[in-house]
């Protein structure tokens, strides 16, 4: 029988006991892996010690999960369930997540190392709960069109679900990322086989019991823990999975596309990496620009796909910007701590592998000639803590300027003017195109810059904020689909055209 994990939190920020099942969630039940699987150790990034071990599945467990999902789709979900009922269940699930949000946030903080208030506010209140409510409202509004043809014919379209959809999600915002897949796919009548990140599976496992409590038919949502090269590969290649939604690295996105091409040509929706530019003009509101830039790169310890890691500052305010930006970064370093310490604003990287990856980029920046303004080293003797790091004098071809670091590391570069488009060319000089920020009080300039930047989202005089109704997704190698808003529904529906002869006789 599957085991459980219980953890007692005892801090001034949160007190309580949380228990989760650590098995596989298939067909509405907790089960063991078919062949014993490959257990997954879940590590506390603040100490490097194992928190607990969860069951890890194999391709055989994916087969079982897909069979359960297929049964649910054909018998108790899909288009057999009216959209209003799908929306009601999603709304009930949102209520349950809200009721349990402190426990979910505590698990997220424990597992990922982010400050507990951040997990409460961003992960739960800003994304997870609103996303569930937003797509609950869409469930009965999935509509096609009646198309004008001629007097002897009627034609209309239907937006139909794919059926079984795979979801492979990352570790930086674990539950929020999972819900960004699950909510729209359920709203549109699909069923899910979810593989949460093996690094951060705890909130997905807690969420599974809430799915049952909400009353979803067994098999509507299935969760198979495990590694990418086993469970992720099996989902990507399974012949009965008709679509896959993935958030993560560009390298893994390529592998999923290849697996789809070599199997059944399932639809693949990708939200991938980024190397976002932040462009600050002389007329920007300086204090606000510094705060927005700081939040854009150091939030969640830089472990954000849209992190603004290339900061271009016009020469007239460059020195003042650098001074204020450095002060904020060093203030964050002073506020480094564990997730449940009051005052903690900066935590560890999620794993030793991620710690080593980020330190590798820092060492690369140093060796290639960039100068460390502040940070550039680990913090403390235990855990995976890295000081917020600012480079100056970085060149466009350096690794730290071209590759996604996914850590609290950025480069600040001086530019002269908008004319000549030098700063625009620098900003677009990357294989990524997820987001960008422009700071200026000149409205015409802001619009010109936004139109010229190769990015799926551009924020003007703002940090990289999410809005439920506004699509988010990248250009170039940052992905091929959208999350949030009506656009996200396109990833989980296929359009059927129906032609009716109403008058012609042959």
Active-site amino acid positions: 271
Check: CB of residue 497 under 8 Å from CB of residue 157.
yes
d(CA 168, CA 244): 8
3-state SS assignment for residue 361: helix
Neighbours of 357 (CB within 10 A): 14
d(CA 360, CA 245): 30
Please, where are the H alpha helices in 307-389? Answer: 318-334, 352-367
Check: CB of residue 425 under 8 Å from CB of residue 396.
no
d(CA 295, CA 298): 5
CA distances from 314 to 8, 283, 398, 412, 452 (A): 50, 9, 21, 10, 18
Check: CB of residue 113 under 8 Å from CB of residue 349.
yes
The DSSP code sequence of 210-264 is HHHHHTPPTTSEEE----IIIIIHHHHH-TT--EEEEES-HHHHHHHHHHHHHTT
d(CA 263, CA 138): 32
d(CA 144, CA 272): 29
Give the sheet arrangement for strand 153-161, strand by strand. 146-147, 153-161, 493-501
d(CA 271, CA 247): 5
d(CA 328, CA 214): 43
Q: Which of 494, 83, 10, 24 is nearest to 269 (CA)?
A: 494
3-state SS assignment for residue 122: helix
**Beta bridge pairs of residue 389:** 409
Provide CB contacts within 8 A for 420, sequence distance 6+: none
The DSSP element (H or E) to which 74 belongs, if any, is: helix 59-75
3-state SS assignment for residue 394: coil
């Amino acid at each position: 029988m599957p085991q459980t994990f219980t953890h007692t939190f005892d801090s001034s920020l949160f007190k309580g006991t949380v228990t989760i099942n650590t098995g596989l969630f298939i067909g509405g039940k907790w089960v063991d892996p078919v062949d014993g699987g490959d257990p997954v150790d879940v590590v506390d990034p603040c100490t490097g010690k194992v928190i607990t071990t969860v069951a890890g599945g194999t391709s055989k467990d994916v087969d079982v999960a897909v069979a359960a999902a297929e049964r649910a789709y054909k018998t108790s979900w899909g288009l057999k369930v009216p959209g209003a009922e799908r929306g009601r269940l999603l709304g009930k699930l949102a209520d349950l997540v809200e009721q349990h949000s402190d426990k979910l946030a505590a698990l997220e903080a424990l597992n990922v190392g982010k400050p507990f208030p951040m997990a409460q506010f961003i992960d739960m209140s800003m994304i997870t709960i609103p996303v569930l409510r937003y797509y609950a409202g869409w469930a009965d509004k999935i509509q096609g069109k009646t198309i004008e043809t001629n007097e002897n014919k009627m034609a209309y379209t239907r937006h139909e679900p794919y059926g079984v959809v795979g979801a492979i999600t990352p570790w930086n915002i674990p539950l929020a990322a999972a819900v960004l897949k699950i909510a729209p796919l359920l709203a549109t009548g699909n069923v899910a086989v979810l593989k949460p990140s093996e690094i951060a599976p705890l909130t997905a496992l807690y969420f599974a019991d809430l799915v049952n409590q909400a009353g979803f038919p067994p098999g509507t949502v299935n969760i198979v823990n495990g590694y990418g090269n086993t469970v992720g590969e099996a989902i990507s290649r399974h012949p009965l999975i008709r679509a896959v939604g993935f958030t993560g690295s560009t390298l893994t996105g390529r592998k999923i596309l290849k697996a789809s091409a070599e199997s059944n040509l399932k639809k693949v929706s990708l939200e991938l990496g980024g190397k976002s530019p932040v462009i600050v003009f002389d007329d920007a509101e300086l204090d606000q620009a510094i705060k927005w830039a700081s939040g854009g790169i150091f939030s969640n310890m830089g472990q954000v796909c849209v992190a603004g890691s290339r900061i271009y500052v016009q020469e007239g305010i460059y020195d003042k910007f650098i001074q204020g930006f450095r002060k904020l970064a060093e203030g964050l370093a002073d506020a480094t701590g564990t997730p449940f310490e009051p005052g903690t604003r900066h935590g560890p990287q999620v794993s030793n592998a991620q710690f080593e990856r980020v330190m590798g980029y820092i060492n690369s920046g140093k060796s290639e000639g960039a100068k460390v303004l502040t940070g550039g080293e680990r913090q403390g003797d235990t855990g995976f803590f890295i000081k917020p790091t600012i480079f100056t004098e970085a060149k466009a071809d350096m690794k730290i300027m071209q590759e996604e670091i996914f850590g609290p590391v950025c480069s600040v570069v001086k530019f002269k003017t908008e004319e000549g488009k030098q700063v625009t060319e620098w900003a677009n000089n990357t294989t990524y195109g997820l987001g960008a920020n422009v700071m200026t009080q000149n409205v015409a300039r802001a619009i010109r810059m936004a139109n010229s930047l190769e990015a799926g989202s551009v924020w003007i005089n703002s940090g990289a904020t999410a809005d439920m109704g506004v699509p988010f997704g990248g250009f170039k190698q940052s992905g091929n689909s959208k999350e949030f808003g009506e656009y996200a529904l396109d990833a989980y529906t296929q359009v059927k055209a129906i032609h009716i002869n109403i008058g012609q006789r042959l």
